[in-house]
Chain A
């Protein structure tokens, strides 16, 4: 297999310009930093600050250079060497499609939302006339019995409504090994050979049919492409927090990913979803290696996507970012707390990538991706160390100068080099944002108008400004937890904009407010005027509970929407693929409580469930413990057994059938009283028939 890296002068020039500019800017920053200390007494705290500074500044420089690359690429109308702009586009429609699986891993997700998303994608694909080349796989890892049963009902309903029997499949894993990557690998092992490509989605992902078709054609036309990652834009936000995130992803995200694509070309990123993958090399080369750690429980790679793209590159296949393909969407976290929950997982995953940084055979571009991802979280503790060391350094220097008799020394403390460094830092931090806003101005109408776009961007920057110190503290905490070996569980991402209570926010972020109130007078007493530099940090900490609470609710989010602030193009011109997915429009089916009980009582739900689990059922006599469990369920009611026991019962087809018979046949005296009322509820709920008749 030949490497797909375009070994052209152009590629070498790009990478050398990217690295050269990043290093040059870092060196300039470091020189300005060192000049700030020129002619002054140095304390050990200063040495700490000076050591940490290049790492911190290099990250700002890399971000800035990526944005510059993005701007350059945008101004010239796109990268002519990009895979999605190849000559194949001229005869695109004549390229035949290959069998493609659309894999939707789910894990205790909102079932109605997931199935509506699949239905919309199906209909969108139908419009392209190429539906026969695509199969959908709902690969469930749900650990909640209610979710499991609801998924089965929703799957049947989807197949019925879309006439998609034999095209939309459902698979429930019994053992949730290796999380999402294990789920995808399980699909590959079972059915991977049937397909040339798979499009991996998240449960909340939506992609339009024409983009799905184009991705397959792009792969067909470029046999050395291993992965093509689209740029998913956040949509459907109603809470202010989510709306701000989706607005900023629209304004700045495209610029950075375009820059990243230009710098990396075929060594691009894979973000784990909304991407097409060539199945055969993925199965052959991208089986995740075990991490070389002594504890066998910690050998699984948590954040699989970066490693898979590195392995794909290592095998000689290209990983491309299709940054300007339209119609690729996802949903973001609805509030700060949910974003932090997600960040904690990502932090643990990204820190694990440290092992791959020095692994043999990993390509330079992949190492860069790993380094940038790693520093994304390591920067937080470094920033905190820098702040603490800088503050102590300033204190000792002020004390030293006060004690020295020579008043000229005081003048040296206000170094003339501090201002250029500050200006440079602010430029590198905010110019990419300004560029993002400027490049969005021609599309201002899609963002609600020019004034609305500018005002939204101003508010977004303010919010980011205050949230950055909060994220720094939490990310530092996450890094320390990860390094100390605290286990991270992969949890379901919350996508409901339900809002946080102020008590929750006070409990989670109140300590930051307290810290700000304690540090503020101490810093002023010891540092004097220098303490003003800490004000933005302290203000962010102080406001953290209020900001988390204010931004979490729908009401404020919808108020801003009514003012046409934080509006995105998907809201001004909603694509049909997103219709009906909004909580406001969604038809809510009244699912009865204790849904899993329906698999025991409802004849239809039971039958569907049996058809799913019978394949793996032994059909032999149940073991004693299972017999006891059945009897306990009958006599003590459904609340008497725990989540694991529910799953155990549901996995055994013979038990499900036996319980169905017994729960309907036994006289009331031999049943727990709740079963009688559940029978009556089952008669009224008609869960599956309602699902099937809902449009």
Chain B
């Protein structure tokens, strides 16, 4: 990882190194095939972040660098997808999927963030469609009523009324009584 020169105002160089690392990791996460292009983009975004920093020195370099990256991406995707009127979160989500499914990031990595984008690549981006499920056709499926017959009547009159603890105590009690009784009878006979 190359070291990055701090801006003229003498800010902490570690913060700018971190900003560059962040940018590079983010661009690598986009799985672009052209490493040289990724480095160029990182440096260009980094330059813009430094310009922003000069305007507003209270802001963190990493934040500024990533803001630049997100903004560039959103603007580029909005233009090429024809969705300028949508929110950045929607543009980015749709755009990433478009990039992924069109495989533009692999087939033409050098065109990433390029303006204007060749028409065939733009078409490829716009043709992608993601449908998790077809349109709902809602209907009902409710539990069937079932007459459980005589066993339910019997159950309601007996074990549905009994508490499990009481039942166990009763079983042990009568088992004890019968054991004593059996022992007594066997002694008697």
Residues of B within 8 Å of A661, CB to CB, are 66, 70
User: Does A680 contact B25, Cβ atoms closer than 8 Å?
Assistant: yes
Partner of B160, one of A191, A293, A611, A614: A293
Cα distance A311–B148 in the bound complex, in angstroms: 13
Q: Is A688 an interface residue (CB 8 A)?
A: yes
User: Does B141 contact A287, Cβ atoms closer than 8 Å?
Assistant: yes
Q: Is A91 an interface residue (CB 8 A)?
A: no
Known interface pairs A610-B93, A611-B130. Does A664 touch B26 (Cβ–Cβ under 8 Å)?
Answer: yes
Residues of B within 8 Å of A602, CB to CB, are 29
Residues of B1-41 at the interface with A, using a CB-CB cut-off of 8 Å, are: 15, 18, 22, 24-26, 28-31
B66 and chain A: residue at smallest CB distance: A665
Least Cβ–Cβ distance between A116 and chain B, in angstroms: 20
User: Does A604 contact B96, Cβ atoms closer than 8 Å?
Assistant: yes
Partner of A692, one of B28, B62, B103: B103
Chain B interface residue number, banded: 35 or more
User: Does B141 contact A667, Cβ atoms closer than 8 Å?
Assistant: no
Cα distance A537–B143 in the bound complex, in angstroms: 44
Residues of B within 8 Å of A682, CB to CB, are 25, 29
Q: Is A77 an interface residue (CB 8 A)?
A: no
Known interface pairs A358-B148, A666-B63. Does A603 touch B136 (Cβ–Cβ under 8 Å)?
Answer: no
User: Does A285 contact B144, Cβ atoms closer than 8 Å?
Assistant: yes
User: Does A606 contact B62, Cβ atoms closer than 8 Å?
Assistant: no
Interface mask (B135-161 → A, CB under 8 Å = 1, otherwise 0): 011111111111111111001100010
Residues of A within 8 Å of B137, CB to CB, are 190-194
Chain A interface residue number, banded: 35 or more
Least Cβ–Cβ distance between A691 and chain B, in angstroms: 10
Q: Is B114 an interface residue (CB 8 A)?
A: no
Least Cβ–Cβ distance between B78 and chain A, in angstroms: 15
User: Does B136 contact A667, Cβ atoms closer than 8 Å?
Assistant: no
Known interface pairs A194-B137, A604-B100, A683-B29. Does A358 touch B144 (Cβ–Cβ under 8 Å)?
Answer: no
Interface mask (B111-143 → A, CB under 8 Å = 1, otherwise 0): 000000000000000000111111011111111
User: Does A361 contact B147, Cβ atoms closer than 8 Å?
Assistant: yes
Q: Is B45 an interface residue (CB 8 A)?
A: no
Cα distance A654–B62 in the bound complex, in angstroms: 22
Known interface pairs A190-B136, A288-B144, A606-B96. Does A668 touch B18 (Cβ–Cβ under 8 Å)?
Answer: yes
Q: Is B67 an interface residue (CB 8 A)?
A: yes
Partner of A193, one of B70, B139, B142, B150: B139
Residues of B within 8 Å of A614, CB to CB, are 93
Q: Is A169 an interface residue (CB 8 A)?
A: yes
Q: Is A8 an interface residue (CB 8 A)?
A: no
Residues of B within 8 Å of A611, CB to CB, are 93-94, 97, 130, 132
Q: Is A185 an interface residue (CB 8 A)?
A: yes
User: Does B22 contact A189, Cβ atoms closer than 8 Å?
Assistant: no
Residues of A within 8 Å of B95, CB to CB, are 607
Partner of B30, one of A194, A290, A603: A603
Residues of A within 8 Å of B129, CB to CB, are 165-166
User: Does B100 contact A684, Cβ atoms closer than 8 Å?
Assistant: no
Least Cβ–Cβ distance between A299 and chain B, in angstroms: 9
Residues of A within 8 Å of B138, CB to CB, are 189-190
Q: Is A689 an interface residue (CB 8 A)?
A: yes
Cα distance A137–B131 in the bound complex, in angstroms: 12
Q: Is B60 an interface residue (CB 8 A)?
A: yes
Residues of B within 8 Å of A688, CB to CB, are 100
Q: Is A360 an interface residue (CB 8 A)?
A: yes
Q: Is A416 an interface residue (CB 8 A)?
A: no
Least Cβ–Cβ distance between B14 and chain A, in angstroms: 9
Q: Is A693 an interface residue (CB 8 A)?
A: yes
Q: Is A171 an interface residue (CB 8 A)?
A: yes
Residues of A654-671 at the interface with B, using a CB-CB cut-off of 8 Å, are: 654, 657, 661, 664-668
Q: Is B105 an interface residue (CB 8 A)?
A: yes
B33 and chain A: residue at smallest CB distance: A689
User: Does A679 contact B146, Cβ atoms closer than 8 Å?
Assistant: no
Least Cβ–Cβ distance between B17 and chain A, in angstroms: 10
User: Does A188 contact B96, Cβ atoms closer than 8 Å?
Assistant: no
Cα distance A191–B140 in the bound complex, in angstroms: 11
User: Does B134 contact A169, Cβ atoms closer than 8 Å?
Assistant: yes
User: Does B160 contact A188, Cβ atoms closer than 8 Å?
Assistant: no
User: Does A664 contact B155, Cβ atoms closer than 8 Å?
Assistant: no
Residues of B within 8 Å of A686, CB to CB, are 29, 31
Least Cβ–Cβ distance between B156 and chain A, in angstroms: 8
Least Cβ–Cβ distance between B107 and chain A, in angstroms: 11
Least Cβ–Cβ distance between A205 and chain B, in angstroms: 21
Cα distance A283–B152 in the bound complex, in angstroms: 26
User: Does B132 contact A188, Cβ atoms closer than 8 Å?
Assistant: no
Cα distance A468–B60 in the bound complex, in angstroms: 70
User: Does B100 contact A692, Cβ atoms closer than 8 Å?
Assistant: yes
Least Cβ–Cβ distance between B72 and chain A, in angstroms: 13
Q: Is A160 an interface residue (CB 8 A)?
A: yes
Least Cβ–Cβ distance between A429 and chain B, in angstroms: 32
User: Does A288 contact B143, Cβ atoms closer than 8 Å?
Assistant: yes
Partner of A657, one of B93, B140, B182: B93
User: Does B22 contact A607, Cβ atoms closer than 8 Å?
Assistant: no
Known interface pairs A358-B151, A657-B89. Does A191 touch B106 (Cβ–Cβ under 8 Å)?
Answer: no
Interface mask (A157-176 → B, CB under 8 Å = 1, otherwise 0): 00010000110011100000
Residues of A469-517 at the interface with B, using a CB-CB cut-off of 8 Å, are: 484-485
B28 and chain A: residue at smallest CB distance: A683
Cα distance A436–B49 in the bound complex, in angstroms: 77
Known interface pairs A192-B139, A611-B132. Does A484 touch B100 (Cβ–Cβ under 8 Å)?
Answer: no
User: Does B18 contact A355, Cβ atoms closer than 8 Å?
Assistant: no
Residues of B within 8 Å of A166, CB to CB, are 129, 131, 134
A293 and chain B: residue at smallest CB distance: B160
B129 and chain A: residue at smallest CB distance: A165
Q: Is A633 an interface residue (CB 8 A)?
A: no
User: Does A191 contact B150, Cβ atoms closer than 8 Å?
Assistant: no
Q: Is A612 an interface residue (CB 8 A)?
A: yes
Q: Is A413 an interface residue (CB 8 A)?
A: no
Residues of A within 8 Å of B62, CB to CB, are 665-668
Known interface pairs A193-B139, A361-B147, A607-B96. Does A171 touch B131 (Cβ–Cβ under 8 Å)?
Answer: no
Least Cβ–Cβ distance between B74 and chain A, in angstroms: 11
Least Cβ–Cβ distance between B48 and chain A, in angstroms: 15
Cα distance A692–B130 in the bound complex, in angstroms: 14
B23 and chain A: residue at smallest CB distance: A664
User: Does B133 contact A171, Cβ atoms closer than 8 Å?
Assistant: yes
Least Cβ–Cβ distance between B165 and chain A, in angstroms: 11
Residues of A within 8 Å of B141, CB to CB, are 185, 188-189, 192, 283, 287
Least Cβ–Cβ distance between B25 and chain A, in angstroms: 4
Interface mask (A255-274 → B, CB under 8 Å = 1, otherwise 0): 00000000000000000000
Known interface pairs A192-B141, A294-B160, A604-B100. Does A665 touch B67 (Cβ–Cβ under 8 Å)?
Answer: yes
A611 and chain B: residue at smallest CB distance: B130
User: Does A171 contact B18, Cβ atoms closer than 8 Å?
Assistant: no
Residues of A within 8 Å of B147, CB to CB, are 359-361
Residues of A within 8 Å of B100, CB to CB, are 156, 604, 607-608, 688-689, 692
Least Cβ–Cβ distance between A639 and chain B, in angstroms: 21
Q: Is A442 an interface residue (CB 8 A)?
A: no
The 3 closest A-B pairs by CB, nearest first: A607-B96, A683-B28, A689-B31
6 new A-B pairs (CB below 8 Å) besides A602-B29, A603-B96, A693-B106? A292-B152, A358-B148, A607-B95, A657-B93, A666-B63, A692-B103
Q: What are 15 contact pairs spanning A and B, CB under 8 A?
A: A191-B134, A191-B136, A192-B137, A283-B141, A360-B147, A484-B164, A604-B96, A604-B97, A608-B130, A611-B132, A664-B26, A679-B29, A683-B26, A683-B29, A688-B100
